[in-house]
Amino acid sequence: MRCSSTSIKFLVLNLAFTVGHAQRWGSGWSAKNFKNMVMFGDSYTDENRLGYFINHNGSAPPTGWDQPLGSQTASGGLTWSRYASIYNNATLYNYAVSGAVCSNQITPRWFSAINAPFPDIAGYELPAFTADSKYRYPNGTKFFKGTARDTVYAIWIGTNDLGNNAFLTDSQTTGKTLSDFVDCVYSTIDTLYQNGGRYFVLLNLAPLQLLPQYATPENGGLAATKFFPDKGPNITEISYRIYASVTTLNDVFKYRTPFEVEVISRWDGIKLADFDVNALVTDIWENPAGYLNGTLPANVTGIINQCDLEENNCQEKTSKDSYLWYDELHPSEQADRVIAREFVSVLGGESKWARYWS
């Protein structure tokens, strides 16, 4: 069926009106109502799930695995996901896996420690949660105690999808594009919605061009890192290329969410918050004194944990709360505390960094 130009213009105007009238404050959101948090993502969110794979010859945790608290994560301490659960007094069900992408059908990344690609959201994290959500212990009690009204689902993915060994270095599966990545994110919501989820927070892409791994030289960009040792000579080109991808995709998310929720009503009765974590982290970078509270001057270009390219001879800086970045690729624990506090504000329907759709 062909759409007339009038129909297309109507859809465009409808979407423009919808975006322009986003709910700045979220009616129907109340942080105290959320007793359970279910998280999906990569090393920014993972506590120790990848560690289980590594320590069990690549085998996944069994259904009903009670994941322990991870005190030494990619942030150097607790993750934002753990802090969010603590700040909101909620139970955390964390399915994030370090190194994950949205789908290994789009950007598979091989991990030699498990002799397989990093477990992804579509192929591992979602099925693992779905199985857990139906699992009962031998005594008959449920593993997952969440309901549609007291559970929020959060998705933060994209750092690995856009980075080296993926779209940045043209390493994606032949024929796959950034559009496929976006579709994967919204398909994740489909599956969770069909499984009973009704409250969702979608975190957009972090400002990857500010990470020491991808930044320009004047912004602390490094010529090579342990995560990207074969970076090549033109680090400025790399920075601008990933910046373009991040900016493009975040604009797509900005308009795609209201289109799906408000224009075509893809999910009846959903509550979905777009958390602009990109703007939040950028504000930390631009105004660090308001967020970083260590004993040394705030530092947004250096890193806490400095290692050689083989990930040896690591040395950690003092006054960790003065830093935005823990290492070349990951926010610090202090940055994670800021993200967690703002995430709870998002749940309360009162975050200036969020837009709400229902």
Q: Would you state the pLDDT for residue 9?
A: 42
**Distance between CA atoms of residues 324 and 330, nearest Å:** 9
pLDDT in tens, 318-349: 999 999 999 999 999 999 999 999 999 999 99
Would the pLDDT of 3 be above 60? Answer: no
Nearest alpha carbon to residue 228 among 176, 177, 281, 166: 166
User: For 211-249, b where at least 16 C-beta lie within 10 A, e where not — what string?
Assistant: bbbbbbeeebbbeebbbbeebeeebeebbebbbebbeeb
pLDDT in tens, 232-268: 999 999 999 999 999 999 999 999 999 999 999 999 9
Would the pLDDT of 67 be above 50? Answer: yes
CATH number corresponding to 26-278: 3.40.50
DSSP alpha helices (H): ranges in the chain? 5-20, 49-55, 80-87, 126-134, 159-162, 178-194, 235-258, 277-286, 333-347
Going from N- to C-terminal start, the domains of the chain cover 26-278
Q: Give, in order, the Cα–Cα distances in Å from 184 to each of 122, 265, 355.
A: 8, 18, 21
* Distant-in-sequence, close-in-space partners of 138: CB < 8 Å, separation ≥ 6: none
Q: Are 293 and 321 in contact (CB under 8 A)?
A: yes
Q: Would you state the pLDDT for residue 6?
A: 45
Q: Give, in order, the Cα–Cα distances in Å from 288 to each of 83, 279, 280, 282, 334.
A: 20, 13, 11, 9, 11
Q: Would you state the pLDDT for residue 8?
A: 37
* Secondary structure letter of residue 210 according to DSSP: G
pLDDT in tens, 181-235: 999 999 999 999 999 999 999 999 999 999 999 999 999 999 999 999 999 999 9
Paired residues of 91 in beta bridges: 36
Q: What value does the mean pLDDT of the chain take?
A: 94
State the DSSP string of 130-185: HHHHH-B-TTS-BS----TTTEEEEEE--HHHHSTTTGGGT-SPTT--HHHHHHHH
Percent of the chain scoring above 90 in pLDDT: 92
Burial of 119 (0-12, 13-18, 19+ CB in 10 A): buried
* Distant-in-sequence, close-in-space partners of 2: CB < 8 Å, separation ≥ 6: none
Q: Which two tokens stand for residue 2?
A: 């062909």
The larger pLDDT score, comparing residue 301 to residue 27, is at: 301
Q: Would you state the pLDDT for residue 22?
A: 54
